Each structure stands twice: as C-alpha cells, then as structure tokens.
Amino acid sequence: MLPKLGILAGSGELPARIIRSCRESGRDFFVIAFEGQTDPALLSDGDEHAWVRLGAAGTTLKHLNDASVKELVMAGAIKRPGLTDLRPDLWATRFFATSGAASLGDDGLLKALVKALEGEGFSVTGVDQLLPDILAPVGVYGSVSPSDALRADISLAREAALSVGAQDKGQGAIAFQGKVLAVEDELGTDVMIARIAISSDEMKGGVLVKVCKPGQETRADLPTIGVSTIDAAAKAGLNGVAVQAGKALVVDLPAVVAAADANGLFVIGIEIESPLIYIIAGEASGDILGARVMARMKEQNTDTRFVGVGGPKMIEQGLHSLFPMEELSLMGITEIIPHIPKLLKRIKQTVADVLKQGPDVLLTIDAPGFCFRVSRKLKGKGIKLVHYVAPTVWAWKPGRAKKVAGFLDHLLTLLPFEPPYFEKEGLPTIFVGHSVVEGEADKGHGESFRKRHNIDIHAPLMVMLPGSRRGEVQKLLGIFCQTAIQLARTHSDLQIVIPVLGTLSETIRREIGPWPLKALVVEGDREKFDAFAAGDVALAASGTVALELAMAGTPNIIAYRVNPVTAWLVRRLLKIPYANLINIVLGREAIPEFLQEKCQPDLLAQSLAELLDDENAAIKQIEAANEALTQLGRGGASPSGRVADVLFSILKEIKK
C-alpha cells in the first residue's frame, strides 16, 4: 500500500489531476493549500487539507507530520513573493539564511527546498512519477503541423530557452521569422505570452517553446502546458507551441489538442538531442578531471550521456565503467611489462565498445599509453577524437607532437606553454588551465582538523603523501617512515598524518602497523584538504598532489624513486631539470626535489626541518608557488568549464 501523499498545491490544473488520480487509485492524500495561491475550488468536502501562509513553513511541516505524511509532491505554479510579503516564520527564515535564497533563481531555490524537505525526513517525488501519462509525447499532437519555416523558429526558440534556462531565469522562449521575440523570466510563461499579445501586429506570430532547464530539479518543477496555455497562445497570435518530449507535462492532452485544433495552432513534442560522450580516464588524477567535466557538461545539458572507463569520482557522476580503471593505473616500465597481455585485451575491448556505442565524441584523459592506442585504432571511424592533458613533449621526445597530431582531432592542455608544440603540427590545441586551480585544496580547515583528531594546536604536523599508485607506495612508504623517525629526533612532538585513497587504505594501514611512530591515516578529499591546512610541512611523491599542496599553501618537498631501469631510461629521455610543475613553470627550484639517489631519509629530514624551523623559507616557498599558480589559470574561468565549452562547440559543429 502506498504511503499517504502530501500535495503542496499551487495554482493551475496539476493539483486537481493529482487529487483525481489519488481518488481513483484509493491512495490517501493530504493537501497543503497556500493562501492566495491555491484555487479554493480544488478541494471537495471531506478532503484532508490545511490552508497556510506561504511563509509559514513550520506550520506546513507540523500539518504534514500530524497527518502522517512521508511522501511529498509539489504541483502547480507558485508566484514568488518578496521576503516582506512572504513574512517567513522561523523555519523559513533559517532556510533562506542557509540556502542563500535571495540570490538563487527558481530552480536553485527549489533544489535547496527539496534538500531541506528531505532533511526533515520526507521523500519528494515528481509529478511525472505520479502521472507518467501526462509527459509530453514525441510528434505532432493535433491536425495542424508546423511548416518548415516554423520548424526553424522552433529550433531558434529552443536554443534561446535552453540558454535562459542555463541562467536559471526561465523555461521558455518565443521566436518568429528567424528572430527571438521574447524569453521567459522570473515572471513566468503567462507574462511572456502577454507581452506578445499586446505588441504590434508585425510582431505577432511565431512559436512558443518550453523546455527543461539544464540540470533542473524535475521533482519540484517541469515545464507544463494546458488548455490555458493554448488559449493564451491563440490570443497572442502565435502559430503553435512546442514542448520537450519526455521532459514537459501536458495536462489533459485531448483537451489541449481540441483547443489547438479549434484555434488553428499546432502542438508538437520535440526531442532535445542527448549527446553521447565516450570518456576514458586511466588513473586517479584523470578520474577527478573526468568527473568535473561530466558535472559541467550536465549543468549545461542535463541530457548529456556518458559511457566509458573511469574511477570512483566518474562513477559518482553516473558513469558505468567498462572495467575497473585501476587495471590501467600502473607505473614504470618494469611494472607495465607483466601486464601487457591484459592491457592489449582491454585496448581491444575498449575500441570495440566505442564502435558499438557510436558516441559523438571520444574524450580521453591523460594515460597516453592506453588512451592513444585506443584513439589510433578509431581514427577515421567518424568519431571526433579529443584528448585532455597533453603529453609532455616539452620534457622528452618532442617528435611525439607530430605523431599525436596524426590521429587526434583536438587537444586540451593544462599548461600555457604547451599549445605551440602541437599547433605547428596542425593539431587544434587549447590551453584550458590546470585542474588543480578549481579543486578544493585551498579550502581546508586546519584548526577543526586538529580539534577533530585531538592534535595539539602547537605540535608540528607533517603530512605524508607516498603516492596514489600501489607501486609508488611500495617504493616510498619505507623511505618516508625513516624520514619521519629522523625528523622526530629534533622535533619530539612531531605528528604525522597520511591522507590516502580508499583503494590504498588497507595497504597503507597494514604497512604502518609496525612503525615506531604513530601515524594518523585519513580518507577522503575533505580530510585530505583539512590535513593540508593543518600541516606545517608535507613530504610528497611527485605528481598532482604537489600542486594541491601549493594551492593549500603548505610548505613541502617532493621525493620520488622508481625502478633503476626506469630511472636510467627516464634520464636519457628527459630534457627538463625539474619534476615538480611549480618548478617547471617558474624555471627554478622553488620546491626542493629529492629524486632517485637523492631520495634519502637524512636529506629529506634535513630539508623538512629547515621549513619547520625557518619561517622565512616557508613564506618564500609559498610566494613562489602562488606566482606559478597564477600562470596555471588560478583566478580565471574553471578548466572543466572550458573543456565543457570546447566539447559543446565540437558537438555543434557535428550538427552542421
């Protein structure tokens, strides 16, 4: 038996449809009717209900709880009043204060409201879940069809509606003869149509298009049309109405069709294209980049679909990974060799899956050993091949730029000096900024971290980061342990924190068990960034984490050691003197580096002690890091947003 349904009823025809559905199915319901918003004729004798002020949220919640309501639906339009007219009670006042409602658009406000209601113990369902039969179908509904010219106007109004929706200002637009006549704002569709109705005769005509906002909270609001919409469109002299199929509601479709036919208007359900992006990440840093790009693209077009290979962050964004990404997270030449047969099998499997899925774009992220082999096999297959994170041709084997240009269609770089290497080979290349500048590494709370873990506020704290790959941890953790032991001889109250990835947590906890020093292991980005803020110094493996430490303003040194064979080959191939990107960008060693033979506990401990004991040395390092971060894009548009923009622009080119 379904639980009692709480109906938060606004104006319009939807609340009545839901009440009728409940009566027909025998489902118990309770109506919250808002003074000045809900039509009194909605309720019949015997209907459980309560009339409340819109701002009396606490009273509303009490009525719902007293009625034993557990599931809620929001139905009908609500005119958004100002705070003065709203007269919010204590619950509503707290909600507005914590949600930042004054600066939110309608969808932002509704998202915050849904979250708050869920926090009160209610589940929130959408009208489309209760009444799936009123979702707009695809195609022409009545006897009138749009001409080719009007279909062009539909496309124009659709793009305008999506654009205004992305700004959370409205869901609709009106276009005629190749021009956008009006776009919906916070006053709603009726006011937009009325503006056309009172305009000059030469502006009358055209089409109204209503679509979902990108990323819209569909449980709280969906674009809706009914007979009143058709009547208003006819009065305004419009030629027809188009709604997004599967994402808009048509209340009483037969009546809508009858009204449209009587007025000579067309009504049509249009499909908004759902671009398919095949996305591949091969390691933890790429997984983060991929997840951010997925989030940005879904913000701009909620129907964007993703398939491919990724890790936990991308999976959180809805990706179903073809196989575990961890299989690709290998380091060093000797570490890769035993896995070559399996990697070749995964390459073949991935290529076959890309061809099966038929995406518009293949976005590969870093991991060139795997990604480039996949892309090469897909060259000429009608799929745009885009790679994010350029191979470091400026560091070794510059001839690779020509090879990469031979099979990629677009390249997106993290570093400002990279594009020329590839552009001269004819490969369209764009600097988007380093992803570290849009992370949360600089938003940690050090004091709360120390309190949370009972670490004395004055105790020196070292953050230890032995790598994100199992092979790195195996080579570095023992060295880092000996470093900490030596450092503790001169800093007796030294505290050690080791932020870890969930996949390595068990390994690291097991390895540090016999250590003579106590080390705190923490998991998750929030704990990691709080640890950075709490840390006085950090000892880190070379990699993205070194940039995160720079963002956090944590003085640090980097240390790294690989298999001797790998080290010998790297030294023969590398053409740069530094490993830390901060140093590479600056052209000097601002962050101490201890690589291979220099990766010795006594040298590491001495360098860390200098940063702990010399405040000026620490400040000088932080200032140098800030200089480099500015060059990497800090303070500009988000890198993932730029990547999303590039991908959408490629998708538009594909449509032409």
Both 140 and 126 in one domain: the answer is: no
Please write the tens of the pLDDT for every residue from 74-100: 888 887 666 566 788 888 787 777 766
Where do the H-state alpha helices sit in 26-122?
A: 57-66, 83-86, 90-99, 106-119
Nearest C-alpha neighbor of 309 from the set 293, 295, 320, 298: 320
> Do residues 241 and 308 share a domain?
no
Among 215, 249, 270, residue at a domain's last position: 270
pLDDT of residue 333: 43
Tell me how far apart the alpha carbons of residues 260 and 144 are, in angstroms, rounded to a whole number.
8
> Domain boundary at 96, 112, 130, which?
130
Are residues 259 and 399 located together in one domain of the fold? Answer: no
> Which range has the worst mean pLDDT, 330-339, 373-382, 461-470?
330-339
**Is the separation of the CB atoms in 590 and 625 below 8 Å?**
yes
**What pLDDT is attached to residue 338?**
63
Domain check: are 226 and 250 in the same one?
A: yes
Residues 6 or more apart from 164 whose CB is under 8 A from it? 170, 171, 173, 183, 184, 185
The CATH number of whichever domain residue 171 belongs to comes to: 3.40.140.80
Residue 198: pLDDT band (50, 70, 90) is: low
Of 350, 273, 343, 346, which is closest to residue 307 (Cα–Cα)?
A: 350
Range of the domain at 70: 5-130
* 147-192 pLDDT tens trace: 999 999 998 888 888 877 767 778 899 899 888 888 888 777 888 8
Q: State the maximum Cα–Cα separation within the chain, in Å, rounded to a whole number.
A: 90
Asked if residue 96 and residue 181 are part of one domain, the reply reads no
Does residue 332 register a pLDDT over 50? no
Give me the pLDDT at residue 178, please: 86
**Total-model pTM:** 0.56
337 token code pair: 């060799």
Residues 6+ apart with CB under 8 A from 247: 135, 136, 211, 212, 218, 222, 223, 272
CATH number assigned to the domain comprising residue 85: 3.40.50.20
Percent of the chain with pLDDT over 90: 50
Do 580 and 500 lie in a common domain? yes
Supply the CATH number for residue 561's domain. 3.40.50.2000
**Do 421 and 283 share a domain, yes or no?**
yes
pLDDT at 429: 98
Same domain? For 520 and 393 the reply is: no
Half-sphere exposure of 258 (CA within 13 A, CB side): 6
The structure tokens listed for 56 are: 């009396």
Q: Do 362 and 307 share a domain, yes or no?
A: yes
pLDDT in tens, 34-76: 988 888 888 888 889 999 988 888 899 999 999 999 999 988 8
In a 10 Å sphere around its CB, with 0-12 CB exposed, 13-18 middle and 19+ buried, how is residue 656 labelled? exposed
**DSSP H or E segment with residue 582:** helix 581-586
Dump pLDDT digits (tens) for 539-585: 999 777 889 999 999 999 999 987 777 767 667 666 678 889 899 99
Structural domain total, the chain: 4
Q: What is the DSSP code (8-state) at residue 460?
A: -
Whether 446 and 420 map to the same domain: the answer is: no
Which pair of structure tokens corresponds to residue 181?
């006549």
Pick the closest to residue 441 from 502, 520, 538, 531 (CA basis): 531
pLDDT score for 331: 45
DSSP 501: -
For 409-461, the pLDDT digits (tens) are 999 999 999 999 999 999 999 999 998 899 889 999 999 999 999 999 999 99
Position 336 confidence tier, pLDDT thresholds 50, 70, 90: low
How far apart (Å, rounded) are the C-alpha atoms in residues 208 and 212? 14
For range 297-306, the mean pLDDT: 80
Could you tell me if 220 and 329 lie in one domain?
Answer: no
Q: Which of 56-60, 110-114, 350-354, 383-387 has the lowest mean pLDDT?
A: 110-114
Cβ neighbours of residue 427 closer than 8 Å, sequence gap 6 or more: 401, 404, 405, 408, 410, 411
∠ at Cα 81 (77, 82), nearest 5°? 155
Q: Do 467 and 368 belong to one domain?
A: no
Q: How many angstroms separate the CA atoms of 174 and 156, rounded?
A: 9
How does the average pLDDT of the chain come out, rounded?
88
H helices present in 406-561, as ranges: 419-423, 446-452, 470-490, 505-512, 525-534, 544-552
Q: Of 250, 270, 290, which marks where a domain is finished?
A: 270
Q: What per-residue confidence (pLDDT) applies to 337?
A: 58
